[in-house]
Structure 1
Amino acid sequence: MKTLKSVTLGIALIVTSSFIQAKANDVPEINLTKTHAINIYVDAMTRGRIDGLNQVVDQSAKFSMLRGKSILSFTKKEMTDYLKHEKNIEQVCTTSTEIVENNPDMAVVRVDMKFDNFTRSNYVTVANTGSGWKITNVYSVFK
């Protein structure tokens, strides 16, 4: 009986510590603001810093790129997998942001990445999802 209690207590401690450790990596919902989501996106795209990106991108987010006359579309998983391979690679560009639309439920922010020969404009939609502000759509065009 004593062994059963010890084993049960050990399992309970492991489960509890695993849960606490997983939650420690989460950003509290109060910190999931529009500004936070955009800053994390800009850091990921321009500096290869992907920490926190998974939390600020909604599970159903769609990433699209207009390349010539073709539109390429990617899921959250495809985009985050790509960015993991680009981790810590800093882009040689000048980045600027501009709010295109803003209301209490959503915002569209244009993130321009100006390289020597072209500019990549990313139209990033962030929405108040009820569990913080998250990126729901990114549409990129190249000029």
Structure 2
Amino acid sequence: MKTLKTMMLGLAMLALCGAVKANTNDNSKFTKNYAINTYIDAMTRGKLAGLNEVLDQSAAFNMVRGKQVLSFGKKQMLDYFQSNKNVEQQCTTSTTVVENNAGIAIVKVDMKFENFTRSNYVTIAHTANGWKITNVYSVFVS
């Protein structure tokens, strides 16, 4: 009987430890660099691994086209990225940090094509779930 109680206690402890470990969020990979590199991979190479995780649920995407501003949400952008999965853009990409502090970073991602440049101003915020992209504002320059 004592052996049975000991085994049951051991199994209960094992289940408890497993449940606690399952609820632990590993946000160590959600750094500023990871978020921006994941975004660049999606935009320029069509590589979508990790993109859904680095986009905040309320992420907003705005694009200036002429005199019009187009706005999109996370789902619309994920659908767009999915339709361009594994499509490599013929551009040169560079990044410039515009602002960087403990709570927020703004990174300018320039995609230089043959006849124009697309500049993406990417806002990354430090959330409870790591660094997440919260806003992208894109402008096109000839």
- Normalising by the smaller structure, the TM-score range is 0.7 to 0.9
Structure 1 stretches of 4+ with a deviation exceeding 3 A read none
Which of 80, 97, 100 aligns to 1:99? It is: 97
- Give the equivalent residue in structure 1 for 2:65: 67
2:44 corresponding residue in structure 1: 46
Q: Which amino acid aligns with 2:110?
A: D
Q: 1:81, 1:109 → 2: CA distance?
A: 23
SS of 1:63 mapped into structure 2: strand
Instruction: Determine the C-alpha separation between the residues in 2 that align with 1:74 and 1:50.
Output: 18
Larger radius of gyration: 2
Structure 1 unaligned spans of 5+: 1-22
Give the distance between the partners of 1:51 and 1:103, measured in 2 at CA: 26
Match runs of 1:17-32 below 5 Å: 28-32=26-30
1:108 and 1:118 map into 2 onto residues whose CA distance is 22
* 2:110 alignment partner, one of 109, 112, 127: 112
Structure 1 CA distance for aligned equivalents of residues 83 and 50 of structure 2: 16
Identity of aligned residues (%): 64
- CA drift of 1:130 comes to 1.4
| Counterpart secondary structure, 2:28 | helix
Q: Distance in 2 between matches of 1:51 and 1:86?
A: 13
Distance 2:67 2:105 in 1: 27
> Structure 1 counterpart of 2:92, which letter?
T
Q: TM-score, normalised by structure 1?
A: 0.81
Q: CA deviation at 1:28?
A: 2.9
TM-score between the two structures when normalised by the length of structure 2: 0.81
Output the CA distance in 2 between the equivalents of 1:82 and 1:121.
18
Q: Distance in 2 between matches of 1:28 and 1:72?
A: 35
Gapped runs of 5+ residues in structure 2?
1-21
